[in-house]
Structure 1
Amino acid sequence: MHRFIIVGGGAGGLELATRLGDRFGTTDSKTAPRAQITLVDRNPTHIWKPLLHEVAAGSMDPFTQELEYAAQAMWHGFEFQQGELIALDRATKRITISALRDDEAGEVLPQRELEYDTLVIAIGSTTHFFGVEGAQQHSIALDTVGQAELFRKRLIAACMRAEHFAPEPVAAGIDDSEGPPVPLGSLNAPRIQVAIVGAGATGVELSAELRNTAHVLSAYGLHKLDPKHDIGIVLIEAGPRILPALRDTVSTATAELLTKLGVSLMTGETVAEVSRDSIRTASGKTIRVDLTVWAAGIKAPAILSQLDGLPTNRLGQLIVRRTLQTEADDNIFALGDCAACPWPGNERGVPPRAQAAHQQASFLFKAFERRMNGKSLPEYTYRDFGSLVSLGRYSAVGSLMGGLIGGNMMIEGLFARFMYMSLYRLHIAALHGYARMVLDTIAHWLRRSTAPRVKLH
């Protein structure tokens, strides 16, 4: 049998493994499997990464949305191996994955070698700290469920602590040494200040979601602080505007909505240093903080530059052709954030978005069908269907259907929020089918109707 190995169980990798398993791996009484499909991931469960800002804000319980890889493998005719990619031998067509360790039980699974005929690398991206002093030590990234949960717990603890302990005298919010104090300073300073570095989609969505969380925590009695004035949210962006990757109209509309929510925007400010309780910018401003989230950029995992001569770009992404094959090896493919894929007619490559990973997974499934039948591989072309940014429970903003109508249609409000949530539902449908997606949606609604709007513990 042909041996497929897919490393990385994110949106693209898991969708590809599921579809390949359904087509080539599932056995029944009439047909034998045509391929062996193995999914490798360092975690035992999957969660859709664009939802991590909701986990951090407490508006989504990750344990009700996580998908067990082993269960998905059993349902859809593929195998799951837990471990982290640590080596590749292209000559023998083998990968090495790390041992699995438990804090209490020690080594659970040994280091293993797996043989492949076709290898797909889909390990996503990781946070880029750009060498900023103290950023990695004193801020929280949102790459994993564990990091998002850590931020949520620290936020609740900070709110409870601020209510019961007296604040420092005249604690400044932002001090501008070159001019008069910024309005967040002096006696009007918030009791708690959350700084979010990076005003891309993750930073913007988190800032809006946190404002809602502050109100909900107050309503449930976890603190008696004023949710708008005592809990400050500062969004810091090095560029001239927030959401720099999106159109000006989307950026402007989002900035207006965030301002109405009481989020302070600092654009054109490059962070020079992060400490436990402050942020210093290159222009000389010092921002007092209780919690810092780093959402300023992404880069490819370091392991990609160590994979037996596979070419990478300056961000560490694997360079692939339009077939999604790596330049050095026709039997190794890459998709998603870790792949530098050309986009004909555009100076930049395919952007690192969930919709791109979904498209590439669908493309590779069809391409592998052709390959199994001895046909040549087609070429992938990215289709931009627009971008949506969530601004809380009832609102979103963005451009829609850019790839369909040759332009961009600006949308916002409840309709935009509905379209944003439908993206996640389409991901669920790709994994389970539309019937189970509908049942999952109903079950999710029933859970929300009997649970607090924010995870409180």
Structure 2
Amino acid sequence: MGKAEAEQLHQIVIVGGGAGGLELATKLGDSLGRKGKAEITLIDKSKTHVWKPLLHEIAAGSMNPEKHELVYLAQAHWHHFKFRLGSMDSLDRAKKEISIAPNYDEDGVEVIPRRTIKYDTLVIAVGSTTNDFGVKGAREHSIALDTQDQAEKFHRRLHNALLRAQTQADPVQAGQLEVVIVGAGATGVELSAELHNTTRELAAYGLDKIDPDRDVHISLIEASERVLPALPSKLSNSVDLELRKLRVHLYMGERVTEVTSKGVQTHSGRFIPSALVVWAAGIKAPDFLREINGLETNRINQLLVKPTLQTTLDDNVFAFGDCAACPWVGHGENITVPPRAQSAHQQASMLVKSLKQRVAGKTDLPEFKYRDYGSLVNLGSYTTVGNLMGALSGSSLFIEGLIARTMYQSLYKLHLMALHGFWSMALQTLARMIAKRTESHVKLH
């Protein structure tokens, strides 16, 4: 297909290669792109994709990211869409084009200059970032887990802290091997359990001067009165019990007021010494979305969308996932779909149908109806707990142990199936099971 011929095709531009955006680009590429009915372009600021719910495992060192990365360029080649590296930073709705910021290498040398990309249909799926609420020192002295780079950065700091403690002449000081996690949502509690396991695994590999039970401490701080405040209390209570068994220090009802290089200060006057702080409390959409080219946003920068997932002021611009405030149909006014991986997956599936209809010239698009299938929380090698929502009764069923763990793992398998198909997912799973027999259970560098 020539350049002029390609430019005449309907241009679908998807910004954000997270779980939802990548699944949408793959499915549209396999249908519209392969048949030459539309040109699909995916834009992301990273060269590779890792499923975001796995980032806490990368941070703890229980997962090697190189074995779970997907290279966007390869996926685009195999599934009939284009990939462009870069970060969107502005929008011109009148010209129907977006602007991509220049890309620089690690030495600050410009690799890709600023450029614009035309669209007929724009889909914004840039996800969310951690919201530090402007707490003093949070940005300078804590690490969020929004990206693979951040997760790997935290792991390096953790590993270096253990090596330093092993080789120093003095005993381990207070706070030297203390990890403070701010926010007891799913990311916070899952990270605390993973860290409990991996720090003990790391210590077993020759770090004989470190006693994990004596020297390594993990603290979880939450402004609400219980862990997992957004989930049912039965699930919260079960996770609370498991974390206390692991001797994770829980500080509930404590609001962080300052983070320093030496630790965390709370509103009650408590100071927790720590050299390693993870900020996992609250989310917001990226700042560049705030009232971008006149589009409506809420207080956390989410784009306001209609049930069709079209933005309220422009039917040519769609948004979904964590960066969109989508009405939760049937749950009253001002109630929006929760920012979860299952939400983005369901929305991507609907948008595949919607955009096919749009390319075909139809304007009557389906409306998104979110189905809450429940929540699962994985505490590493210790246990998994969750609640499943009854589709007919509306009630929830509490599950734990092997059944819950199998269902948790199946969520990742469904994501892989959406990207690669069943047989590729099955072969990847088998290969990883075989490789585990000859690998360490924790990343050692």
TM-score by length of 2: 0.95
Structure-1 residue corresponding to 2:200: 215
2:283 aligned with 1:298: yes
Structure-1 residue corresponding to 2:3: none
- Give me the whole-angstrom Cα distance separating, in 2, the residues matched to 1:158 and 1:172: 13
Contact 1:21 1:77 in 2 (8 A): yes
Structure-1 residue corresponding to 2:59: 56
2:311 aligned with 1:323: no
- Give me the whole-angstrom Cα distance separating, in 1, the residues matched to 2:274 and 2:373: 37
Match of 1:140 among 139, 143, 146: 143
- Give me the whole-angstrom Cα distance separating, in 2, the residues matched to 1:162 and 1:404: 55
- Give me the whole-angstrom Cα distance separating, in 2, the residues matched to 1:78 and 1:441: 26
Structure-2 residue corresponding to 1:336: 321
**AA matched with 2:206:** G
2:87 aligned with 1:84: yes
Match of 1:8 among 9, 16, 22: 16
- Give me the whole-angstrom Cα distance separating, in 1, the residues matched to 2:211 and 2:406: 30
For residues 245-271 of structure 1, what are the alpha-carbon distances to aligned partners after superposition, in whole Å with 9 as ceiling and x for unaligned?
100000000000011111111100001
2:376 aligned with 1:380: no
Match of 1:370 among 357, 380, 399: 357
1:414 positional shift: 2.2
Moved more, 422-431 or 158-167: 158-167
Give SS of 1:71's match. Answer: helix
2:438 aligned with 1:450: yes
Contact 2:38 2:359 in 1 (8 A): no
Give SS of 1:233's match. Answer: strand
Moved more, 202-211 or 144-153: 144-153
**AA matched with 2:215:** D
Q: 1:402 to 1:210 in 2, by over 3 A?
A: farther
**AA matched with 2:139:** Q
Moved more, 349-358 or 368-377: 368-377
1:344 positional shift: 2.0
Q: 1:266 to 1:47 in 2, by over 3 A?
A: same
- Give me the whole-angstrom Cα distance separating, in 2, the residues matched to 1:366 and 1:200: 33
Q: 1:383 to 1:223 in 2, by over 3 A?
A: farther
**AA matched with 2:347:** Q
2:331 aligned with 1:359: no
Q: 1:398 to 1:373 in 2, by over 3 A?
A: same
- Give me the whole-angstrom Cα distance separating, in 1, the residues matched to 2:425 and 2:20: 18
2:235 aligned with 1:250: yes
For residues 71-102 of structure 1, what are the alpha-carbon distances to aligned partners after superposition, in whole Å with 9 as ceiling and x for unaligned?
00000000000010011110110111112221
For residues 6-51 of structure 1, what are the alpha-carbon distances to aligned partners after superposition, in whole Å with 9 as ceiling and x for unaligned?
000000000000000000111xxxxx50000000001111110010
Moved more, 16-25 or 299-308: 299-308
For residues 209-255 of structure 1, what are the alpha-carbon distances to aligned partners after superposition, in whole Å with 9 as ceiling and x for unaligned?
00000111122123532222321000000000010110000000000
Give SS of 1:228's match. Answer: helix
Structure-1 residue corresponding to 2:159: 156
Q: 1:166 to 1:286 in 2, by over 3 A?
A: farther
Match of 1:431 among 419, 427, 438: 419
Matches within 5 A, 1:16-415: 16-26=24-34, 32-104=35-107, 106-165=109-168, 192-347=177-332, 348-375=335-362, 376-403=364-391, 405-415=393-403
Q: 1:130 to 1:166 in 2, by over 3 A?
A: farther
Structure-1 residue corresponding to 2:406: 418
Q: How many residues align?
A: 434
**AA matched with 1:75:** W
**AA matched with 2:56:** H
- Give me the whole-angstrom Cα distance separating, in 2, the residues matched to 1:358 and 1:404: 21
- Give me the whole-angstrom Cα distance separating, in 2, the residues matched to 1:450 and 1:105: 40
- Give me the whole-angstrom Cα distance separating, in 2, the residues matched to 1:404 and 1:440: 35
1:443 positional shift: 1.4
- Give me the whole-angstrom Cα distance separating, in 1, the residues matched to 2:257 and 2:279: 13
Structure-2 residue corresponding to 1:176: none
Segments of 5+ residues of structure 1 without an aligned counterpart are: 27-31, 174-190
**AA matched with 1:45:** T
- Give me the whole-angstrom Cα distance separating, in 2, the residues matched to 1:434 and 1:296: 35
RMSD of the alignment, in Å?
Answer: 1.5
Q: 1:298 to 1:230 in 2, by over 3 A?
A: same
Contact 2:166 2:207 in 1 (8 A): no
Give SS of 2:293's match. Answer: coil
Instruction: Kindly report structure 1 stretches of 4+ aligned residues shifted beyond 3 Å.
Output: 166-169, 401-405
- Give me the whole-angstrom Cα distance separating, in 2, the residues matched to 1:223 and 1:309: 59
- Give me the whole-angstrom Cα distance separating, in 1, the residues matched to 2:246 and 2:378: 13
1:306 positional shift: 4.6
Moved more, 446-455 or 426-435: 446-455
**AA matched with 2:323:** C
**AA matched with 1:440:** Q
Contact 1:394 1:414 in 2 (8 A): no
Give SS of 1:229's match. Answer: helix
TM-score by length of 1: 0.92
Contact 2:32 2:356 in 1 (8 A): no
